[in-house]
Amino acid sequence: MIGVSAAHALVRDGHDVVIYDRAGVAAGASGGNAGAFAFSDIIPLASPGMLRQAPRWLLDPLGPLAIRPAYALHALPWFLRFARASLPGPFAAARDAQAALMRLSATSLDHLLDAICGERLLRREGQLQIYDSAAELRAAKPGWDARAEAGIDFRILTSPDAIREIQPGLNPCIQTAVFTPDWINVTDPKAWVEHLAEDFTRRGGRIERKSVRALQPDGEGMAVATEDGRTPFERVLLATGAEANALLRPLGATVPLDTERGYNTTLPAGAFDLRTHLTFASHGFVVTRIGDGVRVGGAVEFAGLTAPPNMKRADAMLGKARRFLPDLDSAGGTQWMGFRPSMPDSLPVIGAAPGHPSLLLAFGHGHLGLTQSAGTADLIADLVAGRPPSIDMAPYRAGRFRKTAV
């Protein structure tokens, strides 16, 4: 998602661009996500509220947050940074940076839609964020107040009739929700990235199915080593998501990146008459339309890049979805697991690698890769062209967690 979007922005700027992708575009998390442009999600996951909820979630091995015991020690440094980022001062700074990137990304998407004739791939149906109780909604009030200050449109619904007017078929127990009318979904995230890639190649860009084995300094530029040899470039953009550190480690430029493994089940057409994107925040999952089907997914699991999937997590979310959507037909689904590249402060890495000005980085967007893709692409294009970026880049610098920030 991020790499193809940035490549598209660069080729529109007149650069000669080649994408190296070992598995093909949208083969990973970029094709298996919930398909949302969630511009209203300006509240970082690293927040005081998340710190309060996390211990309760961890008690349920199939709940919204899980850490496999064998991975806990490895993940400890990441979680310590996450805890520090959740303190009031760092949280407020990250929230403002998140909001700035969201505003840019919304504007950038409008421009991109014109460039690729992409409106037909969108659904402008809003989002219904559902709460278990009025008390839970009151606890979320600071986040909605922050959204109001940022100019985000939403409606608080405390009438069951008003909620069901937007989405029929909800369990009668649901009586409290917030509707964000400007929320946008793609019809299918895989189709979105493939459309971008097709337009990229139509404009002269190239995509090569090769595995990148190393990045090597080459004079003032950077060389890419693949199974077919070594190719020098003036600039290289690393947008390999959760696997970025494998290529950064030999360059001494690693960052505290981990993966929040997410699970979902995509049900066939006719599974449910879904009218809007549904978010069950306190349960850590969403229900969204993908193509003609319905995707139920979310949750967070810390287990690294090599542990096998635990599809019981997908089953658990599907079971909860049936409870909230009594008419949901959960038969015939396809399960999936993917890797969300996540930084401890919930902000992506965008900019030059420490000590390597010809190597640009764009990864770590967590749950917001699609949402922030167009904005990230425009920032990368500005950096390559030497134009002043339209927002302050300091919050996204790669070296922000180092004792001497770079």
pLDDT of the chain along its 406 residues, tens only? 999 999 999 999 999 999 999 999 998 899 999 999 999 999 999 998 887 888 888 878 888 999 999 999 999 999 999 999 999 999 999 999 999 999 999 999 999 999 999 999 999 999 999 999 999 999 999 999 999 999 999 999 999 999 999 999 999 999 999 999 999 999 999 999 999 999 999 999 999 999 999 999 999 999 999 999 999 999 999 999 999 999 999 999 999 999 999 999 999 999 999 999 999 988 999 999 999 999 999 999 999 999 999 999 999 999 999 999 999 999 999 999 999 999 999 999 999 999 999 999 999 999 999 999 999 999 999 999 999 999 999 999 999 998 644 4
Closest CA to 33 of 293, 284, 296: 296
In the chain, the amino acid numbered 78 is W
Alpha-carbon dihedral of residues 236, 238, 244, 247, nearest 10 degrees? -10
- Provide the 3-class DSSP secondary structure of residue 361: strand
- Show the tokens assigned to 374: 């167009």
pLDDT at 53: 83
Q: To which H or E segment does residue 190 belong?
A: helix 189-202
Task: Specify the length of the chain in residues.
Answer: 406
pLDDT at 403: 66
The whole-angstrom distance between residue 237's C-alpha and the CA centroid of its chain comes to: 18
**CA 193/CA 204 separation, integer angstroms:** 17
From the options 3.50.50.60, 2.160.10.10, 3.40.1110.10, 3.40.50.360, give the CATH code of 2-396.
3.50.50.60
**CA 102/CA 147 separation, integer angstroms:** 11
pLDDT at 306: 97
- DSSP H helical ranges for 353-392: 373-385
Write down the residue that tokens 């893709």 correspond to: 373
Q: Tabulate helix, strand, coil % of the chain (nearest 5).
A: 40, 25, 35
pLDDT at 406: 42
Contact 126, 166 (CB under 8 A): yes
pLDDT at 346: 97
Closest CA to 288 of 166, 180, 186: 186
Alpha-carbon dihedral of residues 84, 90, 95, 100, nearest 10 degrees? -130
Q: Domain locations in the chain?
A: 2-396
- Show the tokens assigned to 197: 């890639």
**CA 48/CA 77 separation, integer angstroms:** 18
- DSSP H helical ranges for 211-253: 244-248
pLDDT at 57: 83
Those residues with Cβ within 8 angstroms of residue 374's Cβ, 6 or more apart along the chain or in another chain? 5, 105, 108, 109, 111, 112
Those residues with Cβ within 8 angstroms of residue 188's Cβ, 6 or more apart along the chain or in another chain? 35, 121, 290, 291
